[in-house]
Structure 1
Amino acid sequence: MKKILKRLCTGFLAFATVVTALPSSTVHASNTQYWTESKERVGIVEQVMNDGSISSTFNEGHLTVEGEDAYCIDINTAFKNGYKTKADASTRMSADQIADVALSIEYVKQYTDSHSGISSKHAYLLRQLVVWQRLSVQLDWQCDNVRASYDEIPKAVQDEVFAGAKAFVKENKGRYDCGGYIYSGEGQELGQFWAKLAVGNTKLQKTSTNANITDGNGIYSIAGATYGVYSDKDCTKQLATLTTDTSGNTEAVEVRATTVYIKELSAPAGFKIDKTVYSLSVEAGKTATLKVSDTPKVTDTLIELFKIDMETQKSNPQGNASLEGAEFTWNFYAGYYNKNNLPAQPTRTWVTKTIAEKDSDGAIHYITRLADKYKVSGDSFYTQDGKNVLPLGTLTVEETKSPSGYLLAGAYMQADGSEEQIKGMYLTQITEDGDLAVLSGSNQYHVSDKVIRGGVKIQKRDLETKDTKAQGGATLK
């Protein structure tokens, strides 16, 4: 009883000692009064001073405001049931002090929720103890190690809780929004504190807008793309950087639970950079995933082949010959190669033929290109945005069937303005040039074939015998 009375009497001295209570301030209290009371006993408390001495031992009750949990915020003052006025804790405590207390309480809640065998009374008592411990440090009460009797809660449990609370506070300041209220009136002041998780996670998942082009083509990669995460839509305040892996995924980064803005900083190999600024809503305690796609670099500048007569260098066939119907085999390889290391099997193959087309001046040309109009056989064409295109890689083309009346042997390709005659297979590459894909070399060639010429052979015979031998002394020479 003496120990308990000692706690009650200390209340008269607390107001005279500045360091033993929260600083006072002028508070304009509302007319609302809140009923505060101490309910059932929750356990025995030992007020251990920093020098190791125990200044008092007392029974602690379950304190409430209007039936909701509250905590003693002045260990040196006795509690009295009664009505009290409410003020925001920020009028009496710094943000750092509020966070210390609120986060300590939050840790104990999480600990007791995840550990069986701790009664609700002892869970409350542990919360009250960490409140006193944090306030003792802040207000220099010199009882930083206030504890419950080990008969109530084992020492190992208390040691684990108190150490865990300190670590939790250190690790989580800024991750939670913290606040509280202080209830003042006759006797001991009470406090209510809350810590609300204010962060979530964001990550990104990238794909190709045209998997038909990029799948199986090692020149394209969705790994290594970088994205900035910003707090403002103008993207001036960067919070984090996301980098994609080989699957197009990024690790999650922690941000405030609000709307963040994400834009691509660097595109991965083979893709155009996405200039869109995306907004993403992040909820506390959850992971928000932004799904984005990049467009592969391709070229829609395709090679055109014009069939001409080798002798005349014009698109007019000689005699009964024709420049229509010449066939060309095109092979595409998903990679960069030369004539010496081409894979045995191309990625795609097409066969096209020359057809007659009339230009704006009425002149006839015999043309072929990679389009359905000219296609004889082969795989489907690569397409993007409704156009036939070529991905990054290697392309070869060779005349494999001459038109009627012309020889395949000796045929050659020649670009306009060039003297080089390309015989047999022609090889070119589609490479990156900034944000574009470009075709190396020209995209227009004339293909010259040699016309087949006939001859006359005369055999002299005897009219009567029909033989090639002359009669008598005559001669057929």
Structure 2
Amino acid sequence: MNKLVKRLLTGTLAFATILTALPVTAVHASGNQYWTESAERVGYIEHVMNDGSIKSTFNEGHMKVEGETAYCVDINTSFKNGYKTRSDASTRMSSDQIADVALSLEYVKQYTASHTNLNYKQGYLLEQCVVWQRLSEQLGWQCDNVRASYNEISQAVQNEAYAGAKAFVKANKGRYECGGYIYTGEGQDIGQFWAKLNVGNAKVKKTSSNPTVTDGNANYSFEGATFGVYSDKGCNSQLATLTADGNGDTKEVEVKAGIVYIKELSAPKGYKLDSTVHALNVEVGKTATLTVADTPKVTATLIDLFKIDMETGKSTPQGNASLEGAEFTWSYYDGYYNADNLPAKATRTWTTKTVAEKDSDGTIHYVSRLADSYKVSGDSFYTQDGKNVLPLGTLTVTETKAPNGYLLDGVYMQTDGSSEQIKGTYLTQISEAGELAVLSGSNQYSVSDKVIRGGVKIQKRDLETKDTKAQGSATLQYTEFNIISLNDSPVLVEGKLYNKNETVKKIQTGIDGIASTSADLLPYGKYRLEESKAPEGYLADGAKAIDFSITEDGKIVDLTDKSHSVYNQIKRGDIEGVKIGAGTHKRLA
């Protein structure tokens, strides 16, 4: 007992001598005075020096300011109840020193809260000891291992708590907002410290601004998109990098509460880079998610098809044919394919037709493209920013219905300046090129169709006998006919263009009275057959013109039956007797 009293007296004497203390800053006391007291004794402290000696042992009191817990911040000075002047801890300590003490206290508070076998006095002893340990290291008190008596708290518990506090400080600097107050006056200075969690989590959720284009399309993926997280709007101080997975989600990153700035560093597959700097407000202890919609790369430069006549190379149809109303089937596939591995079913299909359009100079073109005014049937068009577009992938187009008067056989596409003739189905791909999506090949093609061609055959007959044989010494051979175009549009016959009412061909009957053209002479349209020269022994009177039409390819219009033949009147005369003289053969009166 005497030994214990002696140690207590030694401790009291040591308190009276200030070895090293926090620096003092002059503070005006007016309106800044707080009542401080040592409310009760909580347990014995062993003032252990760094050399292992115990300088003193004393029964520590529970320090309070206006009834709120406080801590001794000067182990070498004795405490006196009374009013003290409060100043911000930052006037006496560096921010690192404040954080060191405040975080150590925060850990011990968490430790005692999770160890319910420790009572409030033991908790306070651990808190006070860890404050002294931190200040001893900072101020050189040489009592870095000051502790509660092992009779108060076991060595194992104290070792665990103090080691945990050091690790907690190291792991959590910057995660908490730390601060405190120092109370100065007569006797020992005391302090209050706090550490408020000042972090939350930030993450990014990547979405598509146009899911109808991207959903289910493997050419678009969120995986691999990266984002920089910055503390400043200018994006000069980077805190972290986030990477999106296939669903567009990044992992969480811990940041200080408040505003952080996020910018996309690399765009995901198929999307444009988002250059916007996004502000995200992160609240303490919560996860804030920035949802950003990236714009998919698409092409609004679609293919224009211009229908032309294969023989003339012009946008003017021949004869009575038309270049309007040709139909094309377009098929889009949401992958990259060639002609040999196209899927059996397209992602979307459309049928469009050619429509007559007039240029500013009055020239008429027959055009088809992927737009509502040309659409015959099919799925809805892909759109973006109010325009029809095509996503990344593969597109094919085939003419599936020829316009009136033309054939599908032999159809080919050709781009201006190229000699290549693309027959059958045309295939192109829409692929990424920097921040754009582009079509392979041209975006304008002429589509050439071959006009339907046919011929005509006519029979010459005797008007009186209705027979195909001439009377007497007359003949039906060498009758000549003119074939005249009745079409508003020109026709190409034997390499020359003919306009309406012009003779496109002369034909002549043979010995059988038949005149015929080849089966591919006349383009689709209307014509008139007129006799221009009667056969020998016949009059031109009575020969009527016949109108006919070419509507089938390779077919000769047969005008040889009685109802369609051309009839001519045989020449006739009376017999007149003349009396002549015998021997002289002179006409007698």
TM-score of the alignment, normalized to the shorter chain, above 0.5: yes
Distance change (3 Å), C-alpha of 1:94 and 1:358: closer
Aligned to 1:230: 230
Q: CA deviation at 1:65?
A: 0.9
- Cα distance in 2 for residues equivalent to 1:182 and 1:363: 92
SS of corresponding position for 1:318: coil
Q: CA deviation at 1:69?
A: 0.8
- Cα distance in 1 for residues equivalent to 2:512 and 2:324: 45
Q: CA deviation at 1:112?
A: 2.1
Matches within 5 A, 1:54-73: 54-73=54-73
Q: Give the conservation status (yes or no) of the 8 Å contact 1:11–1:187.
A: no
Q: Give the conservation status (yes or no) of the 8 Å contact 1:7–1:78.
A: no
Q: Give the conservation status (yes or no) of the 8 Å contact 1:202–1:282.
A: yes
Q: Give the conservation status (yes or no) of the 8 Å contact 1:270–1:392.
A: yes
Aligned to 1:180: 180
Distance change (3 Å), C-alpha of 1:101 and 1:476: closer
Matches within 5 A, 1:57-206: 57-206=57-206
Farther off after superposition, 292-301 or 89-98: 89-98
- Residues paired across the two proteins, number: 466
Q: CA deviation at 1:476?
A: 7.7
Farther off after superposition, 109-118 or 69-78: 109-118
Q: CA deviation at 1:6?
A: 2.9
SS of corresponding position for 2:90: helix
Farther off after superposition, 188-197 or 137-146: 137-146
Q: CA deviation at 1:63?
A: 0.7
Q: CA deviation at 1:288?
A: 1.9
Matches within 5 A, 1:325-344: 325-344=325-344
- Cα distance in 2 for residues equivalent to 1:141 and 1:74: 10
Q: CA deviation at 1:163?
A: 0.7
Amino acid at match of 1:25: V
Q: TM-score, normalising length from structure 2?
A: 0.74
- Cα distance in 2 for residues equivalent to 1:409 and 1:5: 119
Aligned to 2:582: none
SS of corresponding position for 1:137: helix
Amino acid at match of 2:15: G
- Cα distance in 1 for residues equivalent to 2:363 and 2:25: 98
Q: CA deviation at 1:398?
A: 0.8
SS of corresponding position for 1:181: strand
SS of corresponding position for 2:329: strand
Aligned to 2:355: 355
Matches within 5 A, 1:1-80: 1-12=5-16, 14-15=17-18, 17=19, 21-31=20-30, 32-80=32-80
- Cα distance in 2 for residues equivalent to 1:411 and 1:334: 27
Q: CA deviation at 1:291?
A: 1.2
Farther off after superposition, 229-238 or 372-381: 229-238
Distance change (3 Å), C-alpha of 1:310 and 1:58: same
Q: CA deviation at 1:302?
A: 0.9
Q: Which runs of 5+ in 2 are unaligned?
A: 469-510, 514-589
Deviations 1:118-163 (A, max 9, x none): 2222222211111111122223333322222333323332222111
**RMSD over aligned Cα atoms:** 2.7
Q: Give the conservation status (yes or no) of the 8 Å contact 1:27–1:91.
A: no
SS of corresponding position for 1:85: strand
Q: CA deviation at 1:66?
A: 0.9
Matches within 5 A, 1:242-281: 242-281=242-281
Amino acid at match of 2:105: I
Farther off after superposition, 382-391 or 81-90: 81-90
Q: Give the conservation status (yes or no) of the 8 Å contact 1:461–1:476.
A: no
Q: CA deviation at 1:462?
A: 13
Q: Give the conservation status (yes or no) of the 8 Å contact 2:25–2:92.
A: no
Distance change (3 Å), C-alpha of 1:151 and 1:23: closer
- Cα distance in 2 for residues equivalent to 1:320 and 1:368: 21
Matches within 5 A, 1:296-307: 296-307=296-307
- Cα distance in 2 for residues equivalent to 1:75 and 1:221: 63
- Cα distance in 2 for residues equivalent to 1:94 and 1:259: 26
Q: CA deviation at 1:410?
A: 0.5
Q: Give the conservation status (yes or no) of the 8 Å contact 1:413–1:423.
A: yes
Q: CA deviation at 1:11?
A: 2.0
Amino acid at match of 2:49: M
Q: Give the conservation status (yes or no) of the 8 Å contact 1:226–1:244.
A: yes
- Cα distance in 2 for residues equivalent to 1:266 and 1:220: 14
Identity across the alignment (%): 72
- Cα distance in 2 for residues equivalent to 1:195 and 1:65: 18
- Cα distance in 1 for residues equivalent to 2:362 and 2:90: 88
- The structure having more radius of gyration, on CA atoms, is 2
Aligned to 1:434: 434
Q: Give the conservation status (yes or no) of the 8 Å contact 1:84–1:186.
A: yes
SS of corresponding position for 1:345: coil
Q: CA deviation at 1:461?
A: 11
Q: CA deviation at 1:389?
A: 0.5
Q: Give the conservation status (yes or no) of the 8 Å contact 1:353–1:376.
A: yes
Q: Give the conservation status (yes or no) of the 8 Å contact 1:29–1:87.
A: no
Aligned to 1:472: none
SS of corresponding position for 1:160: helix
SS of corresponding position for 2:10: helix
SS of corresponding position for 1:203: strand
Distance change (3 Å), C-alpha of 1:26 and 1:349: closer
Q: CA deviation at 1:457?
A: 5.2
Distance change (3 Å), C-alpha of 1:318 and 1:81: same
Aligned to 2:308: 308
- Cα distance in 2 for residues equivalent to 1:245 and 1:357: 49
Q: Which runs of 5+ in 1 are unaligned?
A: 469-474
- Cα distance in 2 for residues equivalent to 1:409 and 1:177: 81
Structure 1 position 369 matched with structure 2 position 369: yes
Farther off after superposition, 401-410 or 50-59: 50-59
SS of corresponding position for 2:454: coil
Deviations 1:367-417 (A, max 9, x none): 211111111222111100111001111111111121222111111111122
SS of corresponding position for 1:373: helix
Amino acid at match of 2:119: S
Amino acid at match of 1:4: L
Q: TM-score, normalising length from structure 1?
A: 0.90
Amino acid at match of 1:60: E
Q: CA deviation at 1:259?
A: 1.8
Q: Give the conservation status (yes or no) of the 8 Å contact 2:27–2:85.
A: no
Q: CA deviation at 1:9?
A: 2.1
Q: CA deviation at 1:209?
A: 0.5
Farther off after superposition, 310-319 or 203-212: 310-319
Q: Give the conservation status (yes or no) of the 8 Å contact 1:229–1:239.
A: yes
SS of corresponding position for 2:98: helix
SS of corresponding position for 1:454: strand
Q: CA deviation at 1:458?
A: 6.6
Farther off after superposition, 92-101 or 367-376: 92-101
Q: CA deviation at 1:26?
A: 4.2
Q: Give the conservation status (yes or no) of the 8 Å contact 1:30–1:85.
A: yes
Q: Give the conservation status (yes or no) of the 8 Å contact 2:23–2:92.
A: yes
- Cα distance in 2 for residues equivalent to 1:443 and 1:267: 27
SS of corresponding position for 1:90: helix
Q: Give the conservation status (yes or no) of the 8 Å contact 2:11–2:55.
A: no
Farther off after superposition, 416-425 or 69-78: 69-78
Q: Give the conservation status (yes or no) of the 8 Å contact 2:206–2:249.
A: yes
Aligned to 1:471: none
